[in-house]
Amino acid sequence: MLYFILEQQFGGIYMIKIIHTGDLHIGVQFKNTSFDGIQSKKRRIELWETFERILKRADENKPDFLIISGDLFEEDYFTMGDIKRIRDGFNSIKGVNVVISAGNHDPLDEKSLYNLIQWPENVYIFHNEKLEKKEFNSLNTVIWGYSWKEKEEKKRLFDDLDNIDKDKINVLVLHGDILNKDSPYMPLDMGEIESLGFDYVALGHIHKPQFLKDRISYCGSPEPLDFGETGIHGIVEGEIEKGRVSLKLIPFSKRIFVNKEIDVSHIAGFSDVIQAIKNIDDENSRRKNFYRLTLKGIMDRDINLDLEEIKEILKDEFYHIEIINCTTPDYDLDKLLKENNNNIIGIFIKEMMKKGLEDPIVKDGLYLGLKILLKEKMGE
């Protein structure tokens, strides 16, 4: 199993167990993807299923805290029935403290669904006036958090920070951007946060899971949402003590998004293109994940790459496949020179041939240039 471990030891006598997640975006409509209606509905169901799998893991492993660092759901598409389903899920793990800092997709504004129901005693949702703390004395722990009120936030959170009790475990839960100081989405300063002395900083907003300096991490989205979110996705799980953090990224997503390029240069025919696409991954992976494949290279100009036909042939081989054709035809240079001897196309061919077409970089440059020039000539 692939995971990351973040660990520092300085000694300590208190320890808590956590699951850190966020950015589930339950209810998202996938309007900016190429999914059809059926796939969009399936994916929305899968987001609910992953939320319920997280609850099941929490119920089985009994962490002290389930930390949710924002964007639990999509406010624009959520209903009272949906938020009650969330509430009932949290109620099923009564032995686990659930702490939530709302984000920009589920902001805690006046009409927020968070405010319209009574939450179980094990759930605490941070407010939006200032950074606040919630003390859990039996666990010698203080959780700090802040919920967004607007779709964009640039509030300075630490100017009025109360003194941190260094004898307790202190965890900061925020939805914000620590990677871009000019972000409109709660820009955070790495150096400032490091200097504050939190034992762990549980961040949300960035969907790529990553452990940053020392005790700061983005849990990422447990389910990737589009082709901009490739790689492993999951939840962060582990233990926090005073002076010691031991956390793992646990792969948890039902599916992943895969972007790959396929060089089809020197492929003999159409059936070989089909086989090259099938060879991109094993059968189980192909029938489980989302693929976006880019065909590249110099192709025999007589091979017709009809992408819709290719997708139809491969529909039972892939759960989801998108194909982009970035190939360049293998041109008949002698014929092109004869037809374009006195125009820019002919001049371009002659100049590139002087450079030596045995150099693959020169040849690629020639073919890419011809592709553009011939399109312009044909008025495309």
Q: What are 312-329's pLDDT values in tens digits?
A: 999 999 999 999 998 888
* Boundaries of domain holding 301: 258-377
Say whether pLDDT at 8 is over 80.
no
Same domain, 149 and 215: yes
Based on the fold, state whether residues 230 and 295 are members of the same structural domain.
Answer: no
The strand ranges marked E within 225-316 are 234-241, 244-251, 257-263, 290-300
Residue 380: band (very low, low, confident or very high) from pLDDT cuts 50, 70, 90: low
Q: Mean pLDDT throughout 261-281? A: 91
Between residues 86 and 338, the one the model is more confident about: 86
Q: What is the pTM of this model?
A: 0.86
- For residue 14, the model assigns a pLDDT of 81
Residues 181 and 282 grouped into a single domain? no
Q: Which of 193, 216, 251 lies at the terminal end of a domain, its last residue?
A: 251
Does 323 lie in the same domain as 220? no
Q: What is the DSSP letter of 54?
A: H
Residue 136: beta bridge partners?
141
What is the rounded distance in angstroms from the CA atom of residue 179 to the CA atom of residue 64?
29
Phi, psi of 68 (to 5 degrees): -120, 115
Q: Is 101's pLDDT higher than 90? A: yes
Residues 231 and 263 in one domain: no
Query: Do 172 and 296 belong to one domain?
Result: no
Which domain-ending residue is among 251, 274, 302?
A: 251
Q: Are residues 283 and 229 in the same domain?
A: no
Angle of helix 80-91 relative to helix 37-61, nearest 10 degrees, comes to: 20
Whether 130 shows a pLDDT value over 60: the answer reads yes
Would you call 291 exposed, middle or buried from its count of C-beta atoms within 10 A (0-12, 13-18, 19+)?
Answer: buried
Residues 204 and 281 both lie in one domain: no
320 in helix, strand or coil?
A: strand
Q: What percent of the chain has pLDDT over 70?
A: 96
Cβ atoms 90, 45 nearer than 8 A: no
Q: Which residue has the higher pLDDT, 281 or 151?
A: 281
- The predicted-structure confidence for 218-254, as pLDDT tens digits, reads as follows 999 999 999 999 999 999 999 999 889 999 999 999 9
Q: Are residues 294 and 185 in the same domain?
A: no
Provide the percentage of residues in the chain whose pLDDT is more than 90.
73
Q: Given a cut of 80, is residue 258 above it in pLDDT?
A: yes
Q: Mean per-residue pLDDT for 140-164?
A: 90
Tokens representing residue 180 in the block: 């871009």
> Could you tell me if 262 and 190 lie in one domain?
no
Could you tell me the pLDDT band of residue 330, with boundaries at 50, 70 and 90?
Answer: confident
Average pLDDT in the chain: 91
Look at the chain and report how many structural domains it folds into. Answer: 2
The pLDDT value given to residue 13: 46
Q: What pLDDT does residue 53 have?
A: 98
**Residue at which a domain ends, from 251, 270, 298:** 251
pLDDT tens-digit profile of 172-183?
999 999 999 899
Q: 153: pLDDT confidence band, cut at 50, 70 and 90?
A: confident
209 shares its domain with 308 = no
What's the CATH number where 40 sits?
A: 3.60.21.10
Residues 358, 336 share a domain: yes
Answer yes or no: is pLDDT of 360 > 60.
yes
